[in-house]
Amino acid sequence: MKFGIVVNEGPYQHQASDSAYLFAKAAIAAGHEVWRVFFYHDGVNNASRLTAPPQDDRNVVNRWSKMADEHKVDLVVCVAAALRRGIQEENLAAGFRISGLGQLVEAGIQCDRLVTFGD
């Protein structure tokens, strides 16, 4: 099965990002494809390379970057939501790219399931 995932919440103020990551990880481990993860609303904060969590905390941004690299997951950040929150190309973490809502629509068309995490 081919999955698309939407993340609407930031990495440290809500469980949505952790849940989305763990869902994607489990789907890949079960032999499914995670075709695209679309970060929308406050979810765009998952793409900031400026986050610096303490050493004893999980690094949510790095987890997504590693998944993109190892499993060729397309990590797309909504351009309008990103610009509203100060996220631009120069402070984007590895593996993420900025694009428009058309990428979300395409994921809904191309994937067997589109799963949303967060409000």
Q: What span, in angstroms and rounded, lies between the C-alpha atoms of 79 and 86?
A: 10
Question: Residues 75, 77, 78, 82: which is the catalytic one?
Answer: 78
Tally of CB atoms within 10 A around 8: 21
The count of C-alpha atoms lying within 13 angstroms of the C-alpha of 81, restricted to the half-sphere facing its C-beta, is 22
Would you call 86 helix, strand, or coil by DSSP? coil
Residue position matching structure tokens 């941004």: 61
Concerning whether 78 is annotated as a catalytic residue, the answer is yes
Strand partners, 76: 38, 97
Angle subtended by helix axes 16-29 and 60-71, to nearest 10 = 20
Catalytic residue positions?
A: 78
